Structure 1
Amino acid sequence: MTTATAATPPASDSQTPRKPVSVLRQALRLTRTEFTLFYRYQMALYSAALPLIFLLPLSVFEPYDVLPGVDTTVLSLTWFFPIAALTVGLSHVPNVYAIRRERLILKRLRVSGVTPAAIFTSTVLSVFSVVVVQTVLVAALLAALKEVFPTAPVLFLVSLALTTVVMVLLGVLIANFARNGESAQIISMVPFFLLIMLSGLFVPVDLLPDGIAMTIGLLPMLPAVRLAQSAYLGYDLFDGISNAEAATGVDLWLAAGPSLLILVAWMVLLTLLLRIFQWDPRVNK
């Protein structure tokens, strides 16, 4: 009598679990989409052009030298770089996040396995790309009209990146308290104009009492402005224009240390606060 031996079927390859997509790859895929959608939003294009509206009136007056080789036109245009990050971060990001949450786009991303880190990183990268394009255009203008070039390009790029990260994270945090896109735009205007006013653009911080000036210096905008201007112009402007001294290389990096630490501290703080971000739509109670 023979005994039949049942053959065990080979394991099917279809049952092999798919390798999860890394956070970096998720972020890069979303960044490409974010960058494409940016130019489809009329509000986004407005936010990209808004810094010029603030700065062009300052650059049309008769210039005069404030530092050797630096006149008022050059100084006012170097304000553009951090203000570009502030404008896109606070006028575009809160609106987009509030609308996407309201339409359940953010919730679908989270359910499909996209991590918060990938979502936030993609927004930072897309905004940074836009800020870089704006920066290149203004830098080309400064080079063509005034023959002024970045003195410390690495420090300048670091300041631009840190400022963009801080402003984007702040914009996302603002969206957390908005019910829809319209309320996000209204809410974001308060910190936007506050940071603009405290950047030294309209009110020289040097003229304020020491206590108030020190407090303003702990907010992200003034360190961002002084970092960008010092790195671009080659002057230690961290104690104000009246105390400015020429600085390059290690000396400039050492002078920039406190401002860099302030921006890093804001970045860490905002990252921690984003743990409370609400992905589901807010509803009226």
Structure 2
Amino acid sequence: MNSTTNGPRPAVQFLEIAPEAAGQRLDNFLVARLKGVPKSHVYRLLRKGEVRVNKGRAKPDYRLAAGDVVRLPPVRRPEPGAPAPGGRAAGQRLEASILHEDDRLIVLDKPSGIAVHGGSGLSHGVIEALRAARPEAPYLELVHRLDRDTSGCLLVAKRRSALRALHELLRTGRVEKRYLALVQGSWQLGQVKLEDRLRKTVRGGERVVTVDESGKAAASIFRPVEIGNTASLLEVRIMTGRTHQIRVQAAEAGHPLAGDDRYGDRDFNRQMKRLGLDRLFLHAASIGWEDPASGEWRLYSAPLPDDLRAVLSRLEQVRG
């Protein structure tokens, strides 16, 4: 078999699925197990039938059950401690950005510019970098997502049970997410709940989200924090988790986000760039939920990054 990676070539392995891993998709299990192996290679192994479950072929979306036996073919992986190029530095950066960690969960203050997953020309994202930095970790999975340019609170589960519990809370709307966003113009809508139906589509080869009656329901509460003539700072609490939800709803309300090169205003973005804004002004400021086991409210906050604080300071000087 041709290999896409360098390093030791182990023998065939037979892995029995523990109860803790039950319910996980086969492809996700393989990506986590074969750290450093490109996803494209993992899916090729599945297509060719070289990965077997209970001696038979299995599809990528097969849900593993406790007691299943997974056959892993010989596949070269990077030497331990030798992550993909850029992975080590990104992993170290993320380790320094941890807001909280326990035996079930990591809460990150994700820097802007790092995607949550590799792909689209990126060799690594948050989860790949964390796995490279912690090769001994048996389980690391994203609980939810943030756009690449969005900074702030991001959850990573260290146990399958924690992932399932948090996914249930997210599905039933019991996780409170609050963002800080700088929008164009003087916000005069007060505190308002915006409700739209959003639909993903492709326009000019680019994935975009539009307001469309055939789309999925999206709801957000926008609250002004500081109102200016040029721009206004808002706190946004999202009730649903649709792709680009805040960005699209703000633009639809006539107040697109600063630095938004997809839904924003070019002249406004150029004006903000002169004030030092080099990315989307959207920050996941806090995330909280009631712990189902203890009934305790868990709340984690990420401070506004220095680059965004500097933009607000310069805006204040312009007003003065």
Common topology (TM > 0.5): no
- The TM-score, its normalising length taken from structure 2, stands at 0.24
Larger radius of gyration: 1
- The TM-score, its normalising length taken from structure 1, stands at 0.26
Tell me: higher relative CO, structure 1 or 2? Use CA pairs within 8 A at least 6 residues apart: 1
Question: Which structure is higher in helix share?
Answer: 1
Question: Which structure is higher in strand share?
Answer: 2
